[in-house]
Amino acid sequence: MDTLLPGQRLSTFKTLRAASRNYVSSLYSLYMNVSGQLQLRWESSIIYWSTERLSHLNLSVVVTSDGSLQLQAPNSRPVWSVFGEDHNDTVRFRFLRLDVDGNLRLYSWMEGLQTWRSVWQAVENQCNVFATCDQQGICVFNVSGTRVCACPFHHTVQPNSKCLVSYQHECKSGSVMIEHANMFLYGIYPVHDFISLTSQDKCKSLCLSDPSCTAVTFTNDGSAKCRTMRTRYVSGYSDPSLRATSFVKRCSGSLATDLVFPLKSSPRARKKSYNICIPCLVGAASGTIFVFILTQLGMGFYLYKRRNSYSSLSSLAYSSPSSKCLIMLSFSEIKELTGNFSEQLGPKMFKGALPDKQPVAVKELEATIEARKFRAAVSKVGSIYHKGLVKLEGYCCEFDHRYLVYEYAENGSLEKYIENPTLAERLTWRRRKEISLSVGKAILYLHTECREFLCHGNLKCENVLLNENFEARVNEFGSGTFYGEASSHRASTQKDVEDFGKMVLTLVSGIKEVDDVLDWAYKECVEGRPENVVDKRLKDEADSDEVEQTLRIAFWCLQTDECVKPLMGEVVKLLEGTLPVDLPPPPFSHRISSREVEDSSRSGSES
């Protein structure tokens, strides 16, 4: 059994086991021990998530109808609870399930969307689930923030093939160690790694001298732990913020000789190692100690100043996949980092700076938003990472104050460049095409690659920001979640596609109100004069064929017939040139007939 329904109880020594994958019995289980501690396990020995020790007897796991997971005493009194994002909302059906990926999730039935959605999960970062990639390599997050399994042990890997350490015990040419920074590895078959306390170099040498060792991981977070693996079945995870370095053994070869050090030093080098310069060692040691003391004093002063600047700035909220966290700020800190709201960027938007001088944009929201729903929306939006989306850095939810803190885009909004004749010249045709593609990919990510569907709902030039390199960043995504707005999946998708089409037409024409020129622009494109639609401030730098292709894409997005309007995935492929772009039918509600187009063309040629 992998599911617990409201009204059911999971008592001491009972388990939930995840559904099998590939017809093999799952090794993931949810177990409660005699001390009332709830544990997620892989096999029976690896515990990768657990609740606190409560020292209560005869506890039971219960899913409540109002959307919480509780540990209850025999008298039904809760002694531990966690809450779903929709806690206390009116929801007909809920359930708790241990999924096949090893994560424990609470699900709610969305009546409007006719689908289930996860409202809570035990392990926020999926890469922290033990062996989540099983034999498919290690867990990483790609540039769009999506969790994927990658194989760092081979140059080429066939799809669905096993990712095993390639080292063989018999190497005629000797062994070398391949370094992988910011990577933590562990053995999974078997799971019994050997851990010792030593230096990084010693850790690497120990593996080289051990014929059965296949890989080691040195944790350089102050613990100085060396984890030795003696199996080819190795998994793990990688992240730029991870303070661990792994070394994978392989037989020496032409591909590795420049990356590693040899197992045995040359006789000449070994001979020189005995010529020890005592005064040199004393001088070096003294200098090292002096530098170490200065470094410690400097770090202590820096931490003291930082702690005094913002006392609560280090209080962290919901963790994100990239191991970064949202900063939770008080209203007084919001006032301080914005200079008492002295520099306004737009309606209810102010410029500020964090203590490390990082510029940010602070947006004020309605004070009427309920605190619980605001934090739930922050958790959802704050977990979204894509290079084409403005990143949420922090928030304020104090009394009647609601603020969001975003990363700052140096060049401001796209709208500013469209409306200003001088600035518009800096939006070259190449940049306008790149902006269209970047925004399209960002909206596609919201529609298809987030943990749950998210629409933008208000895509326009004002909500597209440009950084110092004129790279587009979509802002204001997910704003409807803060106000509890709900709409159907299909309707939301269609609106985002239509808004995107309007934005593309604005980029081509330089005209913000595209509804006024839609008829004319389509007619010019049909009659073979797409260059007439191009923003005159581009000074003839746009290629006519590219303009026609881009206009066709915009017209497809603006179709009023939902049956022919493309999805964002198709739009992105059209922009990338991987799909041909046919001339769409007239996108207007009143429809221009082909006869009208021919008549207008004939009258134009006669004149």
- Residue 545, Ramachandran bin (φ over 0: left; ψ between -120 and 50: alpha; else beta): alpha
What confidence category does residue 417 fall into, taking pLDDT thresholds of 50, 70 and 90?
Answer: very high
User: What is the identity of the amino acid at 482?
Assistant: F
Mean pLDDT of 45-50: 88
Q: How far apart are CA 87 and CA 82, in angstroms?
A: 10
Which of the residue ranges 7-11, 286-290, 317-321, 379-383 would you say has the lowest mean pLDDT?
317-321
Q: What is the mean pLDDT of residues 286-296?
A: 69
Cβ–Cβ < 8 Å for 260, 249: no
Asked if residues 500 and 492 have their Cβ atoms less than 8 Å apart, the reply is no
Cis omega before residue 584 (within 30°)?
no
pLDDT value of position 256: 40
Q: pLDDT-derived band of residue 512, with 50, 70 and 90 as boundaries? A: confident
Question: What's the confidence (pLDDT) of residue 560?
Answer: 86
User: Which of 61-70, 534-543, 564-573 bottoms out in mean pLDDT, i.e. has the lowest?
Assistant: 534-543
Q: CB atoms < 10 A from the CB of 537, how many?
A: 15
Pairing of strands 392-398, 325-329: parallel
The per-residue DSSP string of 158-186 comes to -TT--------S--TT-EEEEEEETEEEE
**With bands split at pLDDT 50, 70 and 90, how would you rate the model's confidence at 268?**
very low
- Candidates 148, 196, 345, 176; CA nearest to 255 is 176
> Terminus-to-terminus CA distance in the chain, angstroms?
79
What is the pTM for the complete model shown?
0.49
If one compares 356 and 428, the residue with the highest pLDDT of the two is: 428
Tell me the DSSP string of 242-305.
--EEEEEEEE--TTTTTTS--SS--HHHHHHTT---HHHHHHHHHHHHHHHHHHHHHHHHHHHH
Q: Considering the chain, what percentage of its residues have pLDDT values greater than 90?
A: 31
The answer to whether residue 605 scores a pLDDT higher than 70 is no
What local confidence, expressed as pLDDT, does residue 255 receive? 45
Mind listing the pLDDT tens digit for each residue in 336-390?
A: 999 999 999 888 899 999 887 889 999 998 888 888 888 888 877 877 878 899 9
Percent of the chain predicted with pLDDT > 70: 80
Distances (CA, A) of 274 to 264, 268, 269, 270, 277: 16, 11, 9, 7, 9
Could you tell me if 104 and 124 are in contact, meaning their C-beta atoms sit under 8 angstroms apart? no
321-330 mean pLDDT: 59
Q: Read off the pLDDT of residues 557-566 as tens digits, 9 standing for 90 and up.
A: 998 888 888 8
The most confident of the ranges 71-85, 410-424, 486-500 is 410-424
Is residue 448 over pLDDT 60?
Answer: yes
pLDDT at position 552, please? Answer: 93
Domains of the chain: 3-124 (2.90.10.10), 138-264 (3.50.4.10), 316-407 (3.30.200.20), 414-606 (1.10.510.10)
| Tens digits of residue pLDDT in 312-324 | 333 333 333 333 4
pLDDT band per the 50, 70, 90 thresholds, residue 483: low
361 with 347: CB under 8 angstroms? no
Which of 117-131, 301-315, 446-460 has the highest mean predicted lDDT (pLDDT)? 117-131
Return the axis-axis angle of helices 518-526 and 544-557, rounded to nearest 10°.
130
* 223-237, 269-283, 314-328, 477-491: least confidently modelled range: 314-328
pLDDT tens sequence across 184-202: 999 988 777 888 888 889 9
Distance separating alpha carbons of residues 531 and 544, to the nearest angstrom:
6
**What pLDDT was estimated at residue 374?**
86
pLDDT at 461: 92
In this structure, of 74-88, 175-189, 267-281, 306-320, the range with the lowest mean pLDDT score is: 306-320
